[in-house]
Structure 1
Amino acid sequence: MMTHKRAYYCIFILFMLFINLEPTFGDTNGQILIRFKSFLSNANALNNWVDEANLCNWAGLLCTNNKFHGLRLENMGLGGKIDVDTLVELTDLVSFSVNNNTFEGPMPEFKKLVKLRGLFLSNNKFSGEISDDSFEGMGNLKRVFLAGNGFNGHIPLSLAKLPRLLDLDLHGNSFGGNIPEFQQNGFRVFDLSNNQLEGPIPNSLSNEPSTSFSANKGLCGKPLNNPCNIPPTKSIVQTNSVFSTQGNGKKNKKILIVVIVVVSMVVLASILALLFIQSRQRRRSEQDQPIIGLQLNSESNPSPSVKVTKSIDLAGDFSKGENGELNFVREDKGGFELQDLLRASAEVLGSGSFGSTYKAIVLNGPTVVVKRFRHMNNVGKQEFFEHMKKLGSLTHPNLLPLIAFYYKKEEKFLVYDFGENGSLASHLHGRNSIVLTWSTRLKIIKGVARGLAHLYKEFPKQNLPHGHLKSSNVMLNISFEPLLTEYGLVPITNKNHAQQFMASYKSPEVTHFDRPNEKTDIWCLGILILELLTGKFPANYLRHGKGENSDLATWVNSVVREEWTGEVFDKNIMGTRNGEGEMLKLLRIGMYCCEWSVERRWDWKEALDKIEELKENDGEDESFSYVSEGDLYSRGATEDEFSFSVTDSQADKFGNVTG
């Protein structure tokens, strides 16, 4: 009888435990987040974590298509405990950022979050050693930012073994010991500066910038100008020992002579081999020069104004291509052959991430631009030809027409029309004496928006119809009408190269989550608008943009939100009469276009409509009127309308996208 009672009692206890556990089984994301918040201190910034129906409007939540996927709890003064066991229940969590808060103590066990792609803990008060297995199982992790904390001990081996790691920032800690061998070869962001690391830098990291290792007194080897001391080899030590312990007999003299002869021959052979390698490299470099009748000067970054005086015949190199001829994609743009292009006088326009760009003046023919591309092996020959024909069929007054292409397996050459007034970037940031007025800038941005809208219509199924929109890819014709170039190349470009250099891949949704969408090119349009208005070069275009103001959108937002000043607009257009209100409207449009949140970012139709409404002069009936400094919101805009934010960790890590 007692046995049955005990059995019933055990069943009752198990039932009650099940009842008590039931409320937390299958909790919604909102309930889980509220439980996570309960472990935090100073969480006043999260007071709107109440209404689950509007979850994506909660402070610090990241959503795409109204679906939660990340937490960005930055600059909120948060402290307390990061309860990873609660975060594990958020099955869609792929990014976690608490940059610039007051969390302290050892690093939590984030390895439980196996789906995490981005981990951002910079500028807190974390301390202590990070165990070697702290990143085991985190195969999806691409970005790790632990800068500005008090971590010590050696860099964990599991961190170095992450297979997909692209960005790593550990600067400003107290890490010591040797740098481990990292599995990745080539990072977008890599910074170990201001630590206590020592020993030789691994060969796999020798191509990283020297600034990545600065302020580590014990480090040596490339890329630092601090060679490592190489101890003498065992054979030399033994030989020296022989000579020191034996006299000056004839036998030792013979051995000494033999050693000297052998060493001399080895040194001589090494010198000859070095000269031979340098000669081969020089010859290979010469063979790698531009295909048309020109030759680069010895400078690594040729000036756009450098004209080439010596022609070289590379017809033989062209004949090695698969078809050995130019493939024209526009019937109205023919009239010259490959040999005409080879003999054309030419000058260097620039050298960028894809290759060099040249201006060629065909004898008794047109002036064209030849662009060399070395990273277009994403599709086969037939697909490449079909895509080129599609690009050649595009006709719009704000698209630089593609004339022809030349196909080789290793590299491709695209021939475009020539923009007489160079690129927009050269006028905004170069030494060009022409000052762009407000009316000209407005005309340019309207043309850019129209050209981009046309690409959206022609490529409705592509997330990135342009993919590389920036000021150096906006050419200007004789009347300063803008002409977009390097458009539509994402489908045929190697993804690894695109991720490092193409402008659209520097957007927040791609750098954080590797998710380009139909609004990503609009982010590029927003950055271009801010660049046009401020005259400032966006560090978004750089591969290793760093510093507080490295992101143009962040800088503009901080100035506008804190206090209206004349610093926002380029001084060359500040003197425009009756145009300040329209400039302010365009500034607002630009900020909406480069919203960090994809949901709040405008789409291309809304952006185009708002840009088309702009006028050269302010109208009397306009709701936006320019007033004195310090009164932003009396211009007809609310704080919410101007509010947008960019993650600090993302804002200073955008990668090189030059030309």
Structure 2
Amino acid sequence: MLQGKLQYLHRFPLHASVDFQMKFCFPHLLLPFLFVIVNLLPLAIGDLNSDKEALLAFAAAVPHGRKLNWNPATPVCSSWTGVKCSQDLRNVIYLRLPGVGLSGPIPNDTLAKLDSLRILSLRSNRLSGNLPPDILSLPSLHSLFLQHNNFSGDIPTSFSRQINVLDLSFNSITGKIPQTVQNLTQLIALNLQNNSLSGSIPNLDLPRLKRLNLSYNHLDGSIPSSLKKFPNSSFIGNTLCGPPLNVCFPVSPPSPSPSPFPPPSEVPQNQSSKKKLALGAIITIAVGGTVVLFLIALILLFCFFKRKESDDGAMPKVKSSGGGRSEKPREEFGSGVQEPEKNKLVFFEGCSYNFDLEDLLRASAEVLGKGSFGTAYKAVLEESTTVVVKRLKEVIVGKKDFEQQMETIGRLGQHPNVVPLRAYYYSKDEKLLVNDYFSSGSLATVLHDNIPQTIKSPEAALAWWNSVSFF
């Protein structure tokens, strides 16, 4: 039998067996790979298309001041402002739109369809209405930044279990802090300051919680012992007690006060003389109290006028002559004003940058140089965007005149040989200019580094200058 099989195999040459394997075996090996490509590729494209439709629906429903540059004909992951996708380009994972003028409520079934969204930042806008519960419960959401808006209503009770940063500060949120916050075991930072929250604080015994701010609400009661490790600034502006604030004292019921009138049997006979004495004491106390109040009002009036004179006579700030003092570039971009209307950069038309003054304050910075009008800094933002920030000093000008000058400088930036001005910031104490960063250095560096060493006289330098062109 074995000999018969061998004789059967010898009938086919070697090249025939190889052809047989290629024709019959190889297609069977390719079938699983073809199945994966045919079935999973449409799913990947479908996920990104779903995210694209959700973003377009959001942009169409929510008015916005600056152009988002969300063109349906351009790639979502590479050209849409504030959008970042996963490495396989299948889903949108980051959406950052701070200070772009968004207003009104967030409609349902828009951003809530971004199932893979990890970071959502809509801070420093004019969004209003209730907090969208479908966004707070996104399964992949890690960080949510909705501060400096006009949200109202209660905080939803359903959260993503993956969330580690929740910032709802500077809104008009009411109600109580939900008890379900205790279940957010991954929470690192919770910021609810400057709202209208009421009631007591839940026992937030969260192992990873590092930053907490509940200040300036209407919270009352005692602070849970699990939160006594946080500073006083986390709880001020409420009616709270307990460490780290003042100790809570137990409230005891008031004791019954004795009756001010004695029984009729105990009324003395010299009652009329005591009534006269009591009337004289009342008159004396009234006169003395009036004199004391008059003296206090006089002292306060004197202090008010004294303070006004000291303020009027205060000397204006002068330019410091200490040239050897080192500067702190990261902390000198702004005056520290945190109101929403004073924390915005003014961008020029056509600028694709997507950041605000708060992003500049957090950016790493280094001094590029100092001039007669101020100091220039190189600032690297979170998304590796590099800009040059010029901090003006000793510039005393009104807001209207300053804006007119900025518009003139912005029009000059259309020249091909001039670095365009991208944005500016104006306040009473701080004035900033934002330009693109060029790694080739300044014009002075180019000139001094390119002058040949053989030039020894001004005439030779002028001849060399006329013979070359830098532009």
TM-score normalised according to structure 1 size: 0.36
Question: Which has the higher Rg, Structure 1 or Structure 2?
Answer: 2
Relative contact order, higher structure (CA 8 A, sep 6+): 1
TM-score normalised according to structure 2 size: 0.48
